[in-house]
Amino acid sequence: MQIIRELALLREAIASLRNGGKGGGRNRIALVPTMGALHDGHLSLIDEARARADHAVASIFVNPRQFGANEDLDKYPRNEARDVALLTARGCDLLWSPGVEEVYPHGFATSISVSGVSEGLCGGARPGHFDGVATVVAKLFNQVRPDVAVFGEKDYQQLAVIRRMARDLDFDIEIVGVPTRRDADGLALSSRNAYLTGEERQAALALPRALEQASARISGGGNVGAALDEARASLAAAGFDPIDYVELRDAETLAIVTSAQRPARLLAAAKIGRTRLIDNIEVKSNQ
C-alpha cells in the first residue's frame, strides 16, 4: 500500500491508479475518509470500497476544524502504524495521510456550511462541527477525485450533510452509506469506545437497547413522545448524563417527525462518564 503525504504526489499516484483499466479504460476509485484509530467498522467500509471500485483509497486526517474548543482533539487516539497494518491487510491500495499544513495551508480562509440537515442533533450540540466536516470532505473530494465515497451510517447526520453537499456542489461522486457495525453485545463500534472504563462499557449498552425498544414501539404504532421519553429515562437510569438528544427524524431530510408514516431514523447522543456516544437506528414505516 502506498502512503502519501503531499498533494502533488497524491495527484500523480491517483493518475497512475486510474490508468490501465480493463480494455485500456479508466479504473474506478473509491475513497474512505477516516480520522484513523481504525476498527472493524472502518474496515467494513474498505471492503465496500473494494467491491464498488477497482482501487480503494483511505484517508487519515484528524481534522481540527470539526473539534470544538473544549473537545478532545489533542486526546483523539492516533496510531498510524497500527492503522497502516490494518489497511494493508484489508487490501487498501493507497493511504492519503497529510499533515494539517498540507490540508489547511497558511492563509486558508474558506468554509463550507450546509444548512438544514446540519441543524439540531449534533449540529446543535457541537456548533460549527459540520462546517468543519463539510469543508474537509470537499477538500478530500477535490484532492482524491474519487468515483465513489464510502461512509458509515453510525454518523448518520454527517452522512446526510455530505450527501446534501455533494448534490448542491455538483460533485460527480456516488455517496454510499454502510450500515453500522456493532460488537456482539450491540454497542456500535467507535474510536471513542477506547475511552470507556469497563464499568462504563457495560452501562453504555443501554444506548442501543433503548433505541431498539423505542424503534419497535414506534414501528408498532405506539406514541412517539412516550417512546422517546422512555428511551431518555432508560439512558438516565444507566448513568448517561447529559443526554444531548433522543429524537425521531425523517430518514432523508432529517426533519423532525411525530410518526413513522414514512421511513424515519431514531438518533441519540449522550455522555457516559467523559465519553460522548452517538447511535441511531432505522424506524420502519408503520403505514
Question: Is the distance from CB of 189 to CB of 40 less than 8 angstroms?
Answer: yes
Q: Choose among 163, 279, 264: nearest CA to 217.
A: 264
Report angle CA 189, 156, 29 to the nearest 5 degrees. Answer: 85
Q: Are strands 264-272 and 275-283 parallel, antiparallel or unpaired?
A: antiparallel
Q: Choose among 258, 235, 257: nearest CA to 245.
A: 235
Other beta carbons within 10 Å of 210: 28
Q: Which residues of 181-208 are buried (b: 16+ CB within 10 A; e: fewer)?
A: beeeeebbbbbebebbeeebbebbebbb
* Element containing residue 281 per DSSP (H, E): strand 275-283
Looking at 39, 42, 55, 106, which residue is catalytic? 42
Tell me if residue 55 is catalytic: no
Helix %, strand %, coil % for the chain, to 5? 40, 20, 40
Q: Choose among 219, 220, 204: nearest CA to 251.
A: 219
Active site amino acids: 42
